[in-house]
Amino acid sequence: MNAFHIGGDLEVRRLGFGAMHLPTEPGPARENSLAVARRAVELGVTLIDTAYMYGGGANEELLVEALHPYPDELLVTTKVGVARSGPSGEWKLDGRPDVLRDQVERALLRLRVERIELLQLHRIDPETPLADQVGTLRDLRDEGKIGRIGLSEVTVDELDRARGIVDIASVQNRYNLLDREHEPVLAACTAAGIAFLPWRPVAWGGSGATAEVAAVAAELDATPTQVALAWLLGHSPVVLPIPGTARLDHLEENVAAEHLQLTPAQRDRLDALCEAA
């Protein structure tokens, strides 16, 4: 299936777009970023991932310039919980309730929405009780400022504890063809019907240089990137890859991977790569 319902009701196309790598500085690079974001929507992408940390809100503002007013079917999901609160103003995890609340309020203004349909906690702050962090997001949901709540870079235990406090609609962990450290988390999400958004879904320098991936790509007249994305889409029905790029040709290559069909034998060969890695 090419569609998934986040939280059971919010329908998105399974292959999304990660906006992190889009340059936001004024000039030709920014104009290209605007073109890439708009082209993603033209190609049918309905899930775009951003975060406050990506430029301190600059990435969110770029997407607003490119896409607002948003098409009805478009979901722009953002993340909070990282702030410039270190000793020298460096980024650090900060899940204190007042910080999370302030970041959500500012995100609503930047994104020009009344409700963030999917809001993810960028990381769990080890210095703040999990119940305080997730509880704050639950309160914001109850106030109508958040539609659904997600987590990022969590363990199975952390996911279980969070689900004891509030419904969790998504998890965003690092995961790809050769990096399956979070397979237990994906299994938990699959069992519960929770959307799993793998970040770094294509680990080139790793799987891009793997002979087996190149061989499968040649058999399908595809690229290694497309093979890696197709593998993710077929690995679990809850996987929603969000490959990012600042190049139009790479964007079109990524989106086309949605239609690539791996044979059972090819999938078996790719499944075995993790064991050999």
pLDDT digits (tens, 9 = 90+) for 179-209: 999 999 999 999 999 999 999 998 765 545 5
- Going by the DSSP 8-state scheme, the letter that residue 239 receives in this structure is B
Report which of 171, 41, 82 is spatially closest to residue 118, judged by C-alpha positions.
171
Please check the confidence at residue 277 and state whether its pLDDT lies above 60.
Answer: no
* Least confident stretch, 37-51, 73-87, 102-116: 73-87
Task: Report pLDDT for 89.
Answer: 80
Question: Which H/E stretch holds residue 141?
Answer: helix 130-142
Angstrom distance (rounded) from CA 148 to CA 60: 18
Percent of the chain with pLDDT over 70: 96
Of 52, 54, 70, 175, the active-site residue reads 54
Task: Report pLDDT for 209.
Answer: 58
What SS3 state is found at 70? coil
> Band of the pLDDT at 84, cuts 50, 70, 90?
confident
- The rounded mean pLDDT for the chain is 95
- Going by the DSSP 8-state scheme, the letter that residue 14 receives in this structure is S
Report angle CA 259, 260, 263 to the nearest 5 degrees. Answer: 135
Task: Report pLDDT for 80.
Answer: 98
Question: Is 175 assigned a catalytic role?
Answer: no
Please check the confidence at residue 161 and state whether its pLDDT lies above 60.
Answer: yes
> Band of the pLDDT at 109, cuts 50, 70, 90?
very high
Task: Report pLDDT for 87.
Answer: 74
Angstrom distance (rounded) from CA 154 to CA 130: 11
pLDDT digits (tens, 9 = 90+) for 218-258: 999 999 999 999 999 999 999 999 999 999 999 999 999 99
Task: Report pLDDT for 35.
Answer: 98
Angstrom distance (rounded) from CA 60 to CA 78: 8
Q: What integer is the mean pLDDT of 111-123?
A: 98
- CA dist 93 → 46, 123, 126, 214 (Å): 29, 7, 8, 38
Determine the residue type at 249.
D
Instruction: Give all domains of the chain, ordered by start, each with its CATH number.
Output: 3-203+232-246 (3.20.20.100)
Please check the confidence at residue 50 and state whether its pLDDT lies above 60.
Answer: yes
For residue 36 the two structure tokens come to: 């890439």
